[in-house]
Amino acid sequence: MANETARLWKDGGFRPNPWQDWPEDGALEPLDPGTDALVPLERFVADPDVFLARKGRLGVRVAAGEDVAVLAEHLENIALIALEFPSFADGRNYSAARLLRERLGYDGEIRAVGDVLSDQIALMRRCGIDAFLVTHGPTRAALQGGRIPEVRHYYQPVSGPEIEIPAGSRPWARQPAA
């Protein structure tokens, strides 16, 4: 069984998650300046300098429906973008992931948080998401056991983290490189 506390799947394994959510305004205990802080997009955009000046690394949390293009000028200072999936049926942040990778050229970590299930992971990966915060027990077990069912022939050219190569003469068809 997967470790109950380790929920962050990245680079083929469960990893510790050093990131802390930025506290609500007026919270009693502010984050230590050296902590890696995950800041809601709206909060960050309202006053970027406050967060850019901190010692710890900067992460931005994007709710479904928020426009990631507003992060464009700050991307090199952002180490993590967490895309929220409030329900597996809300597909907006699949588009956000592709825009970040393919249009804005972001190459830091893109993490899916929220309702992340094994059947969505392969799709998320193709859109450029490379880390997953998984709360669903069976999905954690499936990841741990290498049982993520996948269709490995693709009809869409995308540039996710895995290298995909053209397959045959159709320019839109792709296969994993390995």
Partner 1 sequence: MYRYDEFDQAFVAERVTQFRDQVARRLAGELNEEQFKPLRLQNGVYLQLHAYMLRVAIPYGTLSAHQMRKLAHIARTYDKGYGHFTTRQNIQFNWPRLDDVPAILEELAEVEMHAIQTSGNCIRNVTADHFAGVAADEAADPRPYAEILRQWSSLHPEFLFLPRKFKIAVTGAAHDRAAIQFHDIGYEVKRNEAGELGFAVYIGGGQGRTPMVAKKIRDFLPEEDLLAYSEAILRVYNLHGRRDNKYKARIKILVFETGADVLKEEIEAEFTKIRASALRLPADEIRRIEAYFAPPAYAIALPGEAALAAARQADPGFDRWVASNVTGHRAAGHSIVTISLKPIGAPPGDATADQMDAVADIAARYSHDEIRVSHEQNLVLPHVATADLRSVFDALVTAGLATANAGLITDIIACPGLDYCALATARSIPVAQRISERFAETARQADIGDVKIKISGCINACGHHHAGHIGILGLEKKGEEVYQITLGGSGDETASIGDIVGRGFASDDIVDAVETIVDTYLERREGADESFLAAYRRLGATPFKKALYGAA
Tell me the β-bridge partners of 113.
84
Minimum distance from residue 95 beta carbon to partner 1 (Å): 5
Q: Of 42 and 67, which CB lies nearer to partner 1 in the complex structure?
A: 67
Dmax over CA atoms of the chain, in Å, equals 61
Minimum distance from residue 170 beta carbon to partner 1 (Å): 6
Token pair for 76: 């090199």
Q: Give CA–CA dist 27/50, Å, rounded.
A: 16
Minimum distance from residue 53 beta carbon to partner 1 (Å): 32
Q: Of 5 and 169, which CB lies nearer to partner 1 in the complex structure?
A: 169
Minimum distance from residue 23 beta carbon to partner 1 (Å): 29
Q: Of 12 and 168, which CB lies nearer to partner 1 in the complex structure?
A: 168
Q: Decide: 43 and 61 in contact? Cβ < 8 Å.
A: no
59 by DSSP, 3-state: which?
Answer: strand
Q: Decide: 39 and 71 in contact? Cβ < 8 Å.
A: no
Q: What are phi and psi of 175, to 5 degrees?
A: -135, 155
Q: Specify the length of the chain in residues.
A: 178
Minimum distance from residue 108 beta carbon to partner 1 (Å): 20
Residues in contact with partner 1 by the rule CB under 8 A: 65, 88-92, 94-96, 98, 103, 117, 119, 122-124, 126-127, 138, 147, 149-158, 160, 166-173, 175
Q: Of 61 and 125, which CB lies nearer to partner 1 in the complex structure?
A: 125
Q: Of 28 and 156, which CB lies nearer to partner 1 in the complex structure?
A: 156
Q: Decide: 166 and 174 in contact? Cβ < 8 Å.
A: yes
Q: Decide: 132 and 9 in contact? Cβ < 8 Å.
A: yes
